[in-house]
Amino acid sequence: MKRKKKELLTIFREMIRKKTVSFEDMSQADAAEFAAFRALIAERFPYLAEAAEYRELGYNGMLFRVKGRSDRKPSVLMAHYDVVPADQEGWTHDPFGAELSGGRVYGRGTLDTKGTLFSIAAAVDQALSEGWIPKNDLYLSFGGEEETHGGTCGAIAEYLKNENIRPAFVLDEGGAVIPEGLPGLKKKAAMVGIAEKGTANYMLSVRAAGGHAATPPRHTAIGQLARAAVRIEKHPFPARLSEPVKKMFRELAPELPVYERFAFSHIGLFEPGVKLLAPRLGPTFNAMVRSTAALVIFEGRSAFNVLPDKAAMGVNVRILPGETKEGALNYLKKVVADPAVTVDLIDGTDPTPISDTACGEWQLLRRVVKRTWPDAAFGPYMLNGGTDSRFYSEISDHIYKFTPMEMTAAERKTVHGADESISVENLFTCVRFYGRLIREL
Ligand SMILES: [Zn+2]
């Protein structure tokens, strides 16, 4: 029997009320809230709990396996149930109150990503209640440390790897259906991430003799480091059209009016122009065509009358597919070109491999997206940030990063911001999307 929307909405609101806030130091997190969330899923989705093999992996990961008629082409649907804190100003609703107002549910995690977790569980539970058996094994992989880049999802992927399971299809958060479309594209766009840039942190430091500020040398440690800062900003990483970006232009080309179509489908011809234009087209486009460096930390002495004996600067680099964190380290050293400045790689991840789009899995996803949003263009793109699905890179070539929801620019801003909320309509469209998807996998 089909469950009433009202009942499902109550469950979703219960999920939002659990304060599953993750911290870099997880000893600060409220483990009882995480446990209560896990118990809630088992309780409210009884067919899922009954039919699936369930295990908890890593710090707080949940993995369900719904056995299919075959185990040859397993699929994984992903989400995470930890959320970022909601302590910023501007909330007009209780961030953990799950208040229903004007057709929307307000609360931390409604979009990122308890909304998709709920939709996956609701769709699978509903289908199971109707006697459905998946064609292939279906795994639901729910992490609880995504926001803090913890290892939970890594533990889930490691488990699957050890079990020799190679997913034929993985879907995690990422792009979305963008109602405003893209420049030149006068319709909605469903953008599916097929690769992620790498992220690496570097520390640049200068040591000096110190001493009294009354008799300074020509350059203090800070002055010397500032020169390195200027050089990094003056010499951005070279612009290049990476494979995911070329694919984006090529795949979106047929959706365009005739004139733009040529430019989009022959984007390679325009590569020199693209490189020249990139800095002028704004930060989003610029980030698409090059590794970027952001100077984010600057430390020296905190007294006015003392020369700093050390100055340090933190740089966050987002690395384009095809490049590496060691390559970026060498580039920074080359650009700084100063033996007094030490450049160290602190931590980071390389870009992910690029997922296949010339395959049945990509077509399947396109089909389900087009059935749910018939008037939307469909295309691949590259994510600037990191998601948990990068942990699956080793065991699958078909990892797609797409949140099946319509999200306006204003809504996307509330992710990690104030008044995060989802419309009830959007939420149930998402449930329908997963309901269609699981019957195709
Ligand atoms: Zn997030």
Enumerate the β-bridge partners of residue 192: 380
Look at residue 285 in the predicted model and tell me its pLDDT: 80
Enumerate the β-bridge partners of residue 178: 189
pLDDT tens, position by position, 261-316: 666 666 666 666 667 666 666 787 888 889 999 999 999 887 899 999 999 999 99
Look at residue 253 in the predicted model and tell me its pLDDT: 79
CA distance 428 to 33: 25
The answer to whether domain 5-195+353-440 and domain 198-349 are alike in fold is no
pLDDT tens, position by position, 213-229: 888 999 999 999 999 99
Class of domain 198-349: alpha beta
Look at residue 182 in the predicted model and tell me its pLDDT: 74
Look at residue 293 in the predicted model and tell me its pLDDT: 96
Between the CA of 425 and the centroid of ligand 1 the distance, in Å, is 22
Note the pTM of the prediction, 2 decimals. 0.90
Between the CA of 159 and the centroid of ligand 1 the distance, in Å, is 24
- Is the pLDDT assigned to residue 258 strictly greater than 70? no
- Counting residues of the chain whose pLDDT is more than 90, the rounded percentage is 78
Look at residue 270 in the predicted model and tell me its pLDDT: 65
Q: For the ranges 27-41, 115-129, 271-285, which has the lowest average pLDDT? A: 271-285
Look at residue 12 in the predicted model and tell me its pLDDT: 98
CA distance 2 to 367: 24
Q: In the chain, what are the domain boundaries?
A: 5-195+353-440, 198-349
pLDDT, mean over the chain: 92
Between the CA of 147 and the centroid of ligand 1 the distance, in Å, is 5
Look at residue 230 in the predicted model and tell me its pLDDT: 97
Give the 3-state secondary structure of the chain.
CCCCHHHHHHHHHHHHHCCCECCCCHHHCCHHHHHHHHHHHHHHCHHHHHHCEEEEECCCEEEEEECCCEEEEEEEEEEECCECCCCCCCCCCCCCCCCEECCEEECCCCCCCHHHHHHHHHHHHHHHHCCCCCCEEEEEEEECCCCCCCCHHHHHHHHHHHCCCCCCEEEEEEEEEECCCECCECCCEEEEEEEECEEEEEEEEEECCCCECCCCCCCCHHHHHHHHHHHHHHCCCCCCCCHHHHHHHHHHHHHCCHHHHHHHHCHHHHHHHHHHHHHHHCHHHHHHHCCEEEEEEEECCCCCCECCCEEEEEEEEEECCCCCHHHHHHHHHHHHCCCCCEEEEEEEECCCCCCCCCCHHHHHHHHHHHHHCCCCEEEEEEECCCCHHHHHCCCCCCEEEEEEEECCHHHHHHCCCCCCEEEHHHHHHHHHHHHHHHHHC
Q: For the ranges 128-132, 269-273, 389-393, which has the lowest average pLDDT? A: 269-273
Between the CA of 84 and the centroid of ligand 1 the distance, in Å, is 7
Please give the average per-residue pLDDT across 393-421, as a whole number: 95
Between the CA of 394 and the centroid of ligand 1 the distance, in Å, is 23
Between the CA of 317 and the centroid of ligand 1 the distance, in Å, is 19
- Is the pLDDT assigned to residue 326 strictly greater than 90? yes
Between the CA of 112 and the centroid of ligand 1 the distance, in Å, is 5
pLDDT tens, position by position, 53-102: 999 999 999 999 999 999 999 999 999 999 999 988 899 999 999 999 99
Look at residue 263 in the predicted model and tell me its pLDDT: 63
- Select, from the ranges 15-29, 114-128, 170-184, 374-388, the one with the highest average predicted confidence (pLDDT): 114-128
Between the CA of 415 and the centroid of ligand 1 the distance, in Å, is 7
pLDDT tens, position by position, 139-185: 999 999 999 988 999 999 999 999 999 999 999 999 999 988 776 67
pLDDT tens, position by position, 177-218: 998 877 667 789 999 999 999 999 999 999 998 888 888 999
**Is the model more confident about 275 or about 120?**
120
Look at residue 260 in the predicted model and tell me its pLDDT: 64
Residues forming the active site: 82, 146
Between the CA of 217 and the centroid of ligand 1 the distance, in Å, is 46
Between the CA of 16 and the centroid of ligand 1 the distance, in Å, is 14
- Strands 310-319, 399-406: parallel, antiparallel or unpaired by DSSP? unpaired
For the record, the structure tokens of 286 come out as 């610029």
- Counting residues of the chain whose pLDDT is more than 70, the rounded percentage is 94
CATH topology of domain 5-195+353-440: Aminopeptidase (3.40.630)
Q: Which residues have their alpha-adjacent CB atom under 5 A from ion ligand 1? A: 112
**Is the model more confident about 2 or about 383?**
383
